[in-house]
Structure 1
Amino acid sequence: MEIKTMSVVFKNRLSFREVPLLRGALLHLANGDSMLFHDHIGDKLRYRYPLVQYREFGGYASLFCLGDGVVAVEGLLCAASSAEVRIGRREEKLLVDSETRLNDELSLSDVFQEYTIRRYLPLNQENYARYKTLDSIVDRYQMIEKCLIGNILSFAKSMGMFFDQQIEVKIQDVANTHEYTYKKVRMLGFDLKFKANVSLPRHIALGKGVSIGFGEIFCK
């Protein structure tokens, strides 16, 4: 399956902690015109893979979008060129620095593909409690591998694709673990390398918090 993606980097400075503020600013700019910019229907959550994702890239505000999200973001940027936005206490003009468009593949692969994932939040509170009871690092990594498989399958399902073979994931290295606050809950995040028998589109994100910069994937 071919998936169209677009990455937008703005000239506006932004820290990772400010990414939710960027999301709020652009939601206000979109004025509720498209549900693609948020994950709510009224007061209820809309459980689907976010097609518009808010990020920090090299200290600057950034957006990543795919599928129908590309068209929605194009319309927003065209209508709101140089618009004034409020990011926290700052009011500034939103200025685009660069756009990158890609046509990528989501498919099974005969050869294992290598990936790096940053700030990956695989565990909910229940899973984390179980993770802490595991004495073996091997058992812990196997648990994270199962989470990655589930996240890949969930992403593929959101794109309308179902694999006819088993997905395999193997963690190669865990570079860092760090606690993050997501939805007022402390969660364990991972920077790690893994390989999988799946070709994934560049810069998609997996796990929890993907709409605000968690779980971005980099291809080797």
Structure 2
Amino acid sequence: MKIATLYFNNVRLKPSQIHKLRGYVGNAFKNHDLIHNHDLTTGKVIYRYPLIQFKLIDNVPAIIAITEHAVKIFGEIFMQLDRIRIEGLEISVHEKNLKVDDVEFGFSNETFMYEFVSPWIGLNQKNYLQYRDANKGEKQKILQSAFIGNILAMAKGVGYWLEKEQRLESELQVRECPVNLKGRTMKGFKGRVQTNFMIPDHMGLGKSVSRGFGVVKGAM
């Protein structure tokens, strides 16, 4: 699978400002729904796995495009970005670094360890209530199931389908952490997860991955 990453090396943003970077870029390129995931005619949200994601990578603001289709759009428009306006402040972009990679993605007979480098928001409204009222062992099973569901949603979003005999497994070692999302405090998780699915570094899982949540990175 092809992934492109555009780094803004001279720009410094806080994690809480990443969604504002997304908002600025989405407004600057309104004709590309792949960026903002809203229908161009109705304005309604398009519910799909975001193929263009905004995040901090080693404290550097970055935008990643996932799949060859997204990378093509990415190359056409993002190199035009020479300034960013956030919270009334205009930031000149003096240095940009575009990196394009072919990465491994998909089911494997091996298992891999990943670390959440930003909080994972893995629970939805339904399984949050189940999780809240569950004991320790049940909570672990709920999180494992939620993580596998997130992988399947990600895979579907990039056009990858598992065979019937391919079964995903996961083992999580995570701790709860509060997350502020759109003015609301939600339950997020940090820590590590082991699974038999190859996930490229810096891809996101769970809710609000386009805003930089749920970013994973390979861990030893």
Q: C-alpha distance in 2, partners of 1:202/1:61?
A: 15
Change (3 A) 1:36 1:217: same
Q: Retained in 2: the 8 A contact 1:104–1:202?
A: no
* Residue in structure 1 matched with residue 119 of structure 2 by the alignment: 119
* Residue in structure 2 matched with residue 39 of structure 1 by the alignment: 37
Q: Retained in 2: the 8 A contact 1:124–1:187?
A: no
* Residue in structure 2 matched with residue 59 of structure 1 by the alignment: 59
TM-score (norm 1): 0.89
Q: Which amino acid aligns with 2:59?
A: G
Q: Which has the higher strand share?
A: 1
TM-score (norm 2): 0.89
* Residue in structure 2 matched with residue 167 of structure 1 by the alignment: 168
C-alpha deviation, 1:5, in angstroms? 0.6
Q: Retained in 1: the 8 A contact 2:127–2:142?
A: no
The answer on 1:132 being equivalent to 2:132 is: yes
Q: Which amino acid aligns with 1:18?
A: Q
- The farther-off stretch of 203-212 and 89-98 is 89-98
C-alpha deviation, 1:96, in angstroms? 3.6
Q: C-alpha distance in 2, partners of 1:106/1:91?
A: 37
Secondary structure of 2:11's partner? strand
* Residue in structure 2 matched with residue 4 of structure 1 by the alignment: 2
Number of aligned positions between the proteins? 212
Q: Retained in 2: the 8 A contact 1:105–1:201?
A: yes
Q: C-alpha distance in 2, partners of 1:87/1:170?
A: 39
* Residue in structure 2 matched with residue 110 of structure 1 by the alignment: 109
Q: Retained in 1: the 8 A contact 2:18–2:56?
A: yes
Secondary structure of 1:44's partner? coil
Q: C-alpha distance in 1, partners of 2:127/2:60?
A: 33
Q: C-alpha distance in 2, partners of 1:87/1:69?
A: 24
C-alpha deviation, 1:155, in angstroms? 1.0
Q: C-alpha distance in 2, partners of 1:183/1:13?
A: 21
Using the aligned pairs only, state the percent identity. 26
Q: Which amino acid aligns with 1:34?
A: H
Structure 1 gaps, min length 5 = none
Q: C-alpha distance in 2, partners of 1:210/1:18?
A: 14
C-alpha deviation, 1:17, in angstroms? 0.3
C-alpha deviation, 1:128, in angstroms? 1.7
Superposition RMSD on alpha carbons, in Å? 1.6
